[in-house]
């Protein structure tokens, strides 16, 4: 061990002792010495500078709270780096768990469908009504539009000729005019 290493070790031991005693200036010194290295790790693990900044704050808050558990077996920088790495791994695992949960929701066996599956069907009905409206009267086209809003699947089937047609302008089951 060289003289400068011994001085550095003694300085770090003294710095840690002051931090453990509640010296805020000592903790600020500790932060300034190690923040850039830990921030670099946090940014790489989180994937963005913004998340890296959040993690850096959380890591040093956790370090402040756990400083009493520092035994001095390793250098304070090594201890902080390991604390930071564990915190970042927890963050990544949590993010992966959230993504998995969101993906499972999207991949669920039973897909959620609207009560009326007819938006696309409704658009199809309106397109057919528009095409056929010059062949029938406006009242009849308006009646078709109202029926499309009420039950687009049934109207589309009638317009496509797969279901017996009824006159949408009345409640009576009159056949649709031949268009």
Tokens 């039973």 appear where? 110
Kindly indicate whether the domain formed by 3-106 is annotated with CATH number 1.25.40.10: no
Q: What residue segments make up the domains of the chain, in order of their start?
A: 3-106, 114-179
What band does 95 get if pLDDT is binned at 50, 70 and 90?
Answer: confident
The pLDDT score that the predictor gives to residue 97 is 80
For residue 157, how many other CB atoms are within 10 A of its CB? Answer: 15
Mean pLDDT for the chain? Answer: 76
What band does 177 get if pLDDT is binned at 50, 70 and 90?
Answer: low
Phi first, then psi, for residue 162 (nearest 5°) are: -100, 0
Q: Which of 59, 69, 49 is nearest to 91 (CA)?
A: 59
Please state, in angstroms and as integers, the Cα–Cα distance from residue 110 to each residue in 16, 55, 115, 116, following that order: 57, 37, 14, 16
Please state, in angstroms and as integers, the Cα–Cα distance from residue 149 to each residue in 10, 155, 167, following that order: 81, 9, 15
What DSSP string describes 93-135?
Answer: HHHHHHHHHHHHHHT-SS----SS--HHHHHHHHHHHHHHTTT
Q: Kindly report, residue by residue over 49-61, the tens digit of the pLDDT.
A: 999 999 999 999 9
Comparing 18-22, 52-56, 87-91, 167-171, which segment has the lowest mean pLDDT?
167-171
Comparing 16-25, 107-116, 146-155, which segment has the lowest mean pLDDT?
107-116
Does residue 14 surpass a pLDDT of 60?
yes
């Amino acid at each position: 061990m060289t003289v400068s290493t011994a001085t550095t070790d003694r300085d770090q031991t003294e710095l840690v002792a002051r931090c453990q005693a509640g010296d805020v200036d000592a903790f600020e010194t500790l932060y300034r010495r190690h923040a850039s290295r830990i921030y670099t790790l946090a940014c790489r693990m989180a994937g963005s500078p913004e998340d890296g900044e959040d993690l850096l704050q959380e890591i040093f808050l956790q370090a402040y709270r756990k400083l009493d558990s520092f035994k001095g077996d390793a250098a304070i920088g090594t201890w902080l780096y390991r604390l930071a790495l564990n915190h970042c791994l927890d963050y990544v695992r949590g993010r992966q768990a959230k993504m998995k949960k969101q993906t499972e929701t999207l991949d669920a066996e039973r897909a959620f469908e609207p009560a009326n599956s007819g938006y696309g069907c409704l658009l199809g009905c309106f397109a057919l009504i528009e095409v056929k409206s010059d062949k029938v009267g406006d009242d009849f086209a308006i009646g078709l539009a109202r029926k499309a809003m009420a039950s687009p699947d049934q109207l589309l089937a009638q317009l496509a000729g797969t279901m017996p047609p009824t006159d949408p302008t009345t409640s009576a089951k009159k056949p649709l005019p031949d268009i």
